[in-house]
Chain A
């Protein structure tokens, strides 16, 4: 069964600190993996996308990694800011005639002063 799991469910960190969010998946055949950021009261917005051959992808203070062998991904946030408070959703696509998109439950991150 295609499934995406994320940990932790929620996280609180101090402003300026770093943090890492985890994503494990059992999706086959694998097409790509995206991380989305969803601010409260907003729709999700894509942060990064990686395919099988990509191990690392950065977008400003966000760095995503992918280990296709262990089927794990992480999202590392450096020097966190208050505006990083949001839900971070890992989304894995299975390759069919088009991408079948499977969403994780998200990690809720709160950055406090």
Chain B
């Protein structure tokens, strides 16, 4: 158990579907992140929330829409995705913004397949 729980673990969706990924952290952290992990590529930072405020948005297409209703929960709403969006989506949290004493704690990810 990592302290960061992601659901669902696997998701298959068509390009016209709307779905949501959920992340919940039980560590009392103030920052939460969405990362995309594609095969043989470095993790790509998508969004950062600090104290429920979005503080970073790395040129992510509008078909990905994050939501952070409180410091323990983070959602990624998906609509009209493309096949190239198929990847492992990782949620992470940290006590504050990343630092020596504030490492990222990752969930086990949602494996998304867009058909």
| Chain A residues within CB distance 8 Å of chain B | 4, 9, 31-32, 34, 41-46, 49, 51, 89, 93, 97-106
**Nearest opposing residue in chain A for B92, CB measure:** A43
Partner of A51, one of B43, B96, B98, B100: B100
Interface residues on B, range: 20 to 34
B98 touches A99 (CB 8 A): yes
A43 touches B107 (CB 8 A): yes
A99 touches B42 (CB 8 A): no
B100 touches A101 (CB 8 A): no
Partner of B99, one of A42, A98, A104: A98
Task: Report chain B residues within 8 Å CB of A32.
Answer: 100
Task: Report chain A residues within 8 Å CB of B99.
Answer: 31, 93, 98-99
Shortest Cβ distance from residue B94 to the other chain A in the assembled complex, whole angstroms: 10
Q: Which 5 pairs across A and B sit closest by C-beta, in order of nearness?
A: A43-B106, A98-B97, A99-B98, A103-B42, A103-B43
Looking at chain B's contact residues, is the secondary structure mostly helix, strand, loop, or mixed?
loop
Most buried by B among A43, A51, A93, A101: A43
**Nearest opposing residue in chain B for A105, CB measure:** B42
Task: Report chain B residues within 8 Å CB of A42.
Answer: 108-109
**Nearest opposing residue in chain B for A42, CB measure:** B108
Partner of A101, one of B41, B45, B108: B45
**Nearest opposing residue in chain B for A101, CB measure:** B98
**Nearest opposing residue in chain B for A43, CB measure:** B106
A44 touches B42 (CB 8 A): no
B103 touches A49 (CB 8 A): yes
Partner of B97, one of A44, A99, A102: A99
B4 interface hit (Cβ, 8 Å): yes
Task: Report chain A residues within 8 Å CB of B104.
Answer: 44, 46, 101
**Nearest opposing residue in chain A for B45, CB measure:** A101
Shortest Cβ distance from residue B107 to the other chain A in the assembled complex, whole angstroms: 5
Contacts A32-B100, A101-B104; A43 near B42 (Cβ below 8 A):
no
B106 touches A4 (CB 8 A): no
A49 touches B100 (CB 8 A): yes
A43 touches B108 (CB 8 A): yes
